[in-house]
Amino acid sequence: MSNGAARGLLAMMESFAIAYATTFLVLLAVTYVLPAGLFHWLLFTRRSNATESMRIQKRRARPQDVRREIRDSVIALLFFSLYSLFLYNAFLAGKTAIYSDLSLYPWWWPIFGFVTMTVLHDAYFYAVHRLMHLRPIFRAIHARHHRSLTPTPWSILSFQPLETVPQFCFFVLMIFFLPLHPATLFVYLFFDGLVNAAGHSGHEFSPPELRKHWLFKYLNAVTHHDLHHSRFHYNFGQYFNFWDRTFGTFLDRRAS
C-alpha cells in the first residue's frame, strides 16, 4: 500500500472513530444518563418517606444488579451507536425521510410525527416484546433484561447484543418512511427514555383510582411494567395497555 493510500485509510478511520464516539456520547446522554439519572436522583439519591411510600416491591436491587444493568446498557449503546452511524450516513446521502426545512410541512406536522411514533412504537413494541418471550427466543435475546427482578432506572437499556437489533429496527422504519424533523426525533428519544426510566423505577406515581379512571385506564402505570419483570407473561406494552387488554396479557395488581 502506498503512503498516500495509507494516509487516506488512516484519515477515514479517524473520521469514523470521531463520528462513532460523538454518536455514542449523544445517545449515552439523551437516551440513558439523563432520563435514568433523573429518576435515580429523584427516587434514590433524594430518598424520603414520601418516595418510600411509593415503592412497589419490598425487595431492593443489589449494588451488583445496578452495576450489571449499567454495564449491559453501555454495551447495548455501543451497538446502537454503530447502527445510528449507518442511518446518519443514509441521511447525508438523502436516502431517509428526515427533513431539516420546516417550511416543507405544516406547523402541526412535528406534533403529528411525535404522536404517530408513540402509537406505532407501542404496537411494534407489544408484538416484538411478546415474540421475544417465546421460550427459544427468550434465552437468546431477552433473558438478560429479566435478570432485573427488581428493576431500577439504570436497567432501561440492559439488553443482550442481539436484542439491540429488534429494539432499533423500529427507528429504522420511522427514519426511512415517516418524515421527521431531527428535533422531533431527539425529543421522542428523550421522551421514550423518560417513560422507560419511570417504568423501571420501582415506584408507583399514580393512585389506583386514577389508573381506573376511563381517561387513564389504558395508560401503562409503573406497576404494570414492574409486574412484567416478576410475572413474565403479562404486560408487554410500552406506553399503553390496549394491546395487553385485547390479547389477554394484562395484569393489574400491586407486586409483593
What crossing angle do the helices spanning 182-199 and 222-230 adopt, rounded to 10°? 60
- Look at residue 1 in the predicted model and tell me its pLDDT: 57
- Look at residue 4 in the predicted model and tell me its pLDDT: 65
| 220 closest CA partner among 201, 244, 202 | 244
Q: What are the 10-residue block averages of pLDDT along the chain, 256 residues in total? A: 64 82 96 97 91 90 95 98 95 95 95 98 98 94 94 96 97 97 96 96 84 83 92 93 96 63
Calpha distance 117→157 (Å, rounded): 19
Calpha distance 237→231 (Å, rounded): 14
Tell me, letter by letter, the H, E, C secondary structure of 128-163: HHHHHCCHHHHHHHHHHHHHCCCCCHHHCCCCCHHH
- Look at residue 256 in the predicted model and tell me its pLDDT: 39
Phi, psi of 184 (to 5 degrees): -60, -45
The alpha carbon of 203 is separated from its chain's Cα centroid by a whole number of angstroms, namely 18
User: Quick one: cell of 157?
Assistant: 437499556
Q: Where are the alpha helices (DSSP H) in 28-163?
A: 34-40, 49-52, 63-92, 109-132, 135-137
- Look at residue 236 in the predicted model and tell me its pLDDT: 96
- Look at residue 121 in the predicted model and tell me its pLDDT: 98
In a 10 Å sphere around its CB, with 0-12 CB exposed, 13-18 middle and 19+ buried, how is residue 197 labelled?
A: buried
Calpha distance 122→225 (Å, rounded): 13
- Look at residue 15 in the predicted model and tell me its pLDDT: 81
Calpha distance 158→147 (Å, rounded): 9
| pTM of structure | 0.91
Query: Which stretches does DSSP call E strand in 63-186?
Result: none
Report the 10 Å Cβ neighbour count for 5. 9
